[in-house]
């Protein structure tokens, strides 16, 4: 399995688990919904990439970039590393691995 697929899979799991954890700890329905949807889309994108479907990469790339933007804005607003800084860092690592594989 290629490193970008593993990174996408890990980022998808982190988004999914993070959304559920936010809901359980503070009752954030928005985090539950957005974390579940984005996490599942990333997991589907990783699966499609693994199967050799070319648009799986594009799907994962779009969601990763969207999450980077969202968590950048959230980190700027709250100035708290957890969870926005962690998700931003993980998103940037995932994006870097995805783009380095396409060069």
Span 13-31, pLDDT tens digits: 999 999 999 999 999 999 9
Reported confidence tier of residue 8, pLDDT bands at 50, 70, 90: very high
Q: Is residue 68 predicted with pLDDT exceeding 90?
A: yes
pLDDT value of residue 4: 92
Percent of the chain residues past pLDDT 90, beyond the cut: 94
CA distance 16 to 38: 7
pLDDT value of residue 103: 60
Burial class (CB in 10 A: 0-12, 13-18, 19+), 44: middle
């Amino acid at each position: 399995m290629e490193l970008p697929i593993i990174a996408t899979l890990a980022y998808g799991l982190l988004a999914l688990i993070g959304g559920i954890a936010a809901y359980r700890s503070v009752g954030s329905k928005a985090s539950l919904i957005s974390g579940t949807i984005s996490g599942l889309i990333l997991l589907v994108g990783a699966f499609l990439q693994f199967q050799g479907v070319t648009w799986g990469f594009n799907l994962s790339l779009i969601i990763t970039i969207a999450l980077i933007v969202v968590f950048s804005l959230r980190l700027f607003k709250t100035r708290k590393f957890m969870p926005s800084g962690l998700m931003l860092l993980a998103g940037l690592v995932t994006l870097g691995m995805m783009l380095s594989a396409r060069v």
